[in-house]
Structure 1
Amino acid sequence: MSLLDAVAARKSHSKVTSDAPTHAELLPLVAAAASVADYGSLRPWRLIELRDDARSRLGTAFAEAVGLEGHHAEKLASKPLRASLLIAVVAVNKPSHKVLPWEQDVATAGVAHTLSLLLHDAGWGVMWRTGPHVDAPAVRELHGLADNERLFGWLYVGGLPEKVKPEKKSKFDPESVLSQL
């Protein structure tokens, strides 16, 4: 399969099995993702693996962030348990006289998307999830974020279910977004 075909076939998988890549399996994918355009080679990002109990602690931080209790808190707290591995994507704003903060954010988003493509290509189901909880103090504290860091969300990663529904993608017209000067 060509790179074009692989990228065109990418889809988000909201439901995955409990399988997940190991830390050792992630390392070459992260190394490859680090090749994205990175103005000034600042590497203004970092990634955090959340497995096992860390996912439960994240769920508790979600519920705390919203101030929920009871059934609603349990439902919100269970969201990080939808995948065995979550990879937090953190933008790290680094001082630079030539690379603006938004350019550093673009590099971070590029790493996250490239990593999701690489995980997909390796046979894993991936979904990039965000939400209003990324900036909540309890969530920031759990991830150990510094003042110059911002959480861009999590890649939820797991095995692909045996029966994956074929994607019914609507036909995209590239002419609608590609113009000429």
Structure 2
Amino acid sequence: MGSALEAARARRSSSKVTDEAPTREELLPLVAAAGRVADHSNLTPWRLIELRGDDRLRLGRAIGEATGDGPSTKPLRAPLLIAIVSSPRPSEKVPEWEQEAVASGVAHLLSLLLDEAGWGVMWRTGAFVRSPAVAKAHGLTRREKLLGWLYVGGRPPRDREGFRPGVDPDRILGRMPGGERP
């Protein structure tokens, strides 16, 4: 296994994947590792929902209901979808926005771990993510928010070609106004 820096530099979104997918047993240690993301007060304000097989068809129907376009085939683009759910906990110390940020961190770290394990992964969202029909299909409570899905499958052989360039870190990493330059 390489370093976290190497894994982050090598990570790519895979918009197309093959029909192969990790098993639940293969997912469990990756989910456990992703759960190590910074989590103020250890609230675990997130949960994941595994969608395979007919689950994806039910999601397609819910998306169709939300958009008024009929059943969507988008969930069939990958053999495994992992729904990322922000599930805030009551806390006087940790605001809800911070808890949602933890759920986002879990999603990103899990996508990085899946990528490093050799799977094709893409985090997908859409206007329908927050629709009542899609929330109901996932069994969300009133307080929970769906942040999207990790579409997971086998990585096509040429998936690493043509990736986007990285950011210019010197342009992105700034200082507070009035602070000294290093």
Q: Indicate the SS of the match to 1:27.
A: helix
Identify unmatched segments of 5+ residues in structure 1.
none
Amino acid at match of 2:54: D
Aligned length: 175
Q: Which moved more, 1:25-34 or 1:132-141?
A: 132-141
The equivalent of 2:49 in structure 1 is 48
**Matches of 1:146 and 1:171, distance apart in 2:** 38
Q: How does 1:25-104 map to 2 (within 5 A)?
A: 25-68=26-69, 73-74=70-71, 77-104=72-99
TM-score calculated relative to the size of structure 2: 0.92
Identical amino acids, percent of aligned pairs: 57
Which residue of 2 is the match for residue 14 of structure 1? 15
Identify the residue that residue 144 of structure 1 maps to in structure 2. Answer: 139
Alpha-carbon shift at residue 145 of structure 1 (Å): 0.3
CA contact (8 A) 2:12 2:160 kept: no
RMSD: 1.2
CA contact (8 A) 1:89 1:154 kept: yes
The gaps in structure 2 that reach 5 residues or longer are none
> Which of structure 1's runs of 4+ aligned residues deviate more than 6 A?
none
TM-score with structure 1 setting the length: 0.93
Deviations, residues 15-35 of structure 1 (Å, cap 9, x unaligned) = 000000001110000000000
| Partner Cα distance (2:163, 2:35) in 1 | 31
